[in-house]
Structure formats: C-alpha cells, structure tokens
Amino acid sequence: MNKIAWIGLGQMGVPMARNLAKHGYPVTVYNRTPKSVDMTPCQVADSLHMAVDHADVVFLMLSDGAAVEHVVFGESGAIHALSQGALIVNMSTVGVDETKQFALRAAEHQVEWMDAPVSGSVGPAEAGTLVVLAGGSESAFHRVKPLLATMAKSVHHLGPVGSGAAMKLLVNGMLAATVAAASECMALAEKSGLGRERFLDVLSETGMWSPILAGKRPLWLDDEYHPSFALKHMTKDLALLSRFAVQYSAALPGMTTALTTYLGAQAQDLGDADMAAVFQHLCALAGAEL
C-alpha cells in the first residue's frame, strides 16, 4: 500500500484512523470541518481531493448515506479524483440498498466498493477491539483484511456487497431494543420509588446484564449524556433496518416500536445526546420525575 485515505474524523473516525496509522500504514486523513485534534502519525490533507489523490484504499467513517453520497459522488466528490482500481471501504452505517447502489456507481468509474461497518463504540475503537462486518468480493476482502485487523478483535467477511451493512443493522436493532427496554423499566422503577440505581444494581446480578448496560450505567446514574453513540444515529439505523425488512416483507414489531421510541426522543431534542438518553424520553412518557 502506497497511500491510504481516511475520510471522516468524528467520534469513531479519529481512533480508528489512528490505530491504522500506528500499525505503520501510510494514512492521510481529511475531515470536512478542520479538527484541532492531534492525528499523529497520520498526514492531514487540506482538501478531499488531496486526501484521495493516488490512494489505493479510501476508508469512509461518516454519519449516514447522505454524507457518503455527498463525499463520494457529489459535484467535487472523491470519485472524480480517484485512480482506476482504487477500493472504497465504507465503515459508516448506511442502508443495504444504498450500499448496493454506491457499489454500482463506483464500478462505473472502475472503483471497487466494500461495506465494512463496525459493532462497538468509542472505547473499542480506541482499544482496537471493534467487530468488523464486511461485504464485498473475496479479492477486496483479502486486500484490506490486515488493515481492518488493526482496528478490530474480529473481522467477518459475510458475503457480497451489502452483507456487512445488513448484519450491522440487525446487531444494532438488538442494541436499540436492549437499551430501550432497560430504560423503560428504569423509568417505572423511578416513578414507583424503587429508584434507578437499585434497579440497575439488581439487574447487574441477573442473566440480563450485559457490557452495553454496564457501559450506560454511569450515564443513567448521573443523567449526563455526552455522546459515544449519538441517539440520532440509532434512529437512523432503526429506520434503515425497517427499510431492509420491507425488502423481505418481514414484520419486525419490536424494532418498529423501538424506532417510534427513539424518534420520540429525537423529537424531544435528544438527537445529539448519547442513545442512553432515550431514558429521559421514557421517563417523560411514564410521568416519572428526574
């Protein structure tokens, strides 16, 4: 690899790009909004085109499909500066249908596409212990597997383009439902006088406890929701999961309820807070005072 471009320096992009560069890969990073964060040992490009020019592989870690569309296929998008034979690895969570469309459009420019979204939040991104869920050709996977391994404890090749996106949406459906279910019961614990702390203490001794609940516990106890995973991103993922289910005429009643719950929280201005803030919305619905 002569040059690797990394586009998107949000909560996840910063630690993931750093891990790649720390393993000796020649990484050039770019973010739409200049960042004051130290990205050593990465090179920092002043423009998108400078970042992707002559890159063998371009990683994307952006908010959503609209951001990917704009960055890659927009008027001055990356596709216009990429060399033939380059590979785009989209690690952002976007839809299965969007992913397949992106791959077809990239192929028109002789650029290959791979979806490689991740499970795990900022902590695992910093520790290099994410779970990568990849979709794409065998040859593309073979080409980038060592790069993905610098960020992850496991790297799964799940099938053709779109397979990684599909698995990611299923996994996040579980995450959404788990956090919403705990929040709903905690809201009633508050209202009925048992209290959220005692509820979490008891839950932590049962089989229902999990690392995700342990991670969210301090946020719930302090009512401070600095985002590791913004609630608006979870709403987006549930909407994408619904769209995926529609393609298969598969009813997902629990996931549909979860989408309504997170949308309600977003309507209460909680979109930029951590997803655990869905608890505040459920307290309001339950009439529980915080």
d(CA 42, CA 65): 26
According to CB under 6 A, which one of 32, 54, 142, 191 is a site residue for ligand NAP?
A: 32
Residue 88's SS3 state is: strand
d(CA 263, CA 236): 9
User: Under the criterion CB under 6 A, does residue 90 sit at the interface with ligand NAP?
Assistant: no
According to CB under 6 A, which one of 3, 4, 8, 25 is a site residue for ligand NAP?
A: 8
Closest by Cα among 33, 106, 15 to 68: 106
User: Under the criterion CB under 6 A, does residue 99 sit at the interface with ligand NAP?
Assistant: no
- List the catalytic residue out of 3, 168, 216, 232: 168
Give, as one character, the DSSP assignment of residue 230: B
Give, as one character, the DSSP assignment of residue 83: P
Residues 257, 260, 262, CA angle at the centre, nearest 5°?
Answer: 110
d(CA 144, CA 164): 14
Cβ pair 196, 221 in contact under 8 A: yes
According to CB under 6 A, which one of 19, 28, 121, 266 is a site residue for ligand NAP?
A: 121
Q: In the chain, count H helices and then E strands.
A: 12, 9
User: Under the criterion CB under 6 A, does residue 153 sit at the interface with ligand NAP?
Assistant: no
Binding mask 217-236 for ligand NAP (x = CB under 6 A): -----------xxx--x---
According to CB under 6 A, which one of 3, 5, 13, 187 is a site residue for ligand NAP?
A: 13
Part in contact with ligand NAP (CB under 6 A); list of ranges 2-10, 188-196, 215-223, 254-262: 2-10
Residue 119's SS3 state is: strand
How near is the Cβ of 177 to ligand NAP at its closest, in Å? 16
User: Under the criterion CB under 6 A, does residue 280 sit at the interface with ligand NAP?
Assistant: no
How near is the Cβ of 230 to ligand NAP at its closest, in Å? 6
User: Under the criterion CB under 6 A, does residue 173 sit at the interface with ligand NAP?
Assistant: no
> Bridge partners of 57?
4, 87
Part in contact with ligand NAP (CB under 6 A); list of ranges 30-38, 132-140, 259-267, 282-290: 30-38
User: Under the criterion CB under 6 A, does residue 101 sit at the interface with ligand NAP?
Assistant: no
Residues that contact ligand NAP, how many (by CB under 6 A): 25
49 to 68, contacts with ligand NAP by CB under 6 A?
61-64, 67
> Of the two residues 122 and 284, which places its CB atom closer to ligand NAP in the complex?
122
Q: What are the residues whose beta carbons fall under 8 Å from the beta carbon of 101, sequence distance 6 or more?
A: none
Active site residue 232: no
User: Under the criterion CB under 6 A, does residue 9 sit at the interface with ligand NAP?
Assistant: yes
According to CB under 6 A, which one of 28, 90, 92, 183 is a site residue for ligand NAP?
A: 92
Q: How far is CA 86 from CA 80, 89, 108, 112, 163, in A?
A: 12, 10, 12, 6, 21
Phi-psi region of 44 (alpha: psi -120 to 50; beta: other; left: phi over 0): beta
Closest by Cα among 26, 6, 24, 23 to 14: 6
How near is the Cβ of 223 to ligand NAP at its closest, in Å? 20
Q: Which positions lie near ligand NAP, rule CB under 6 A?
A: 8-13, 31-33, 61-64, 67, 70-71, 92-93, 118, 121-122, 228-230, 233
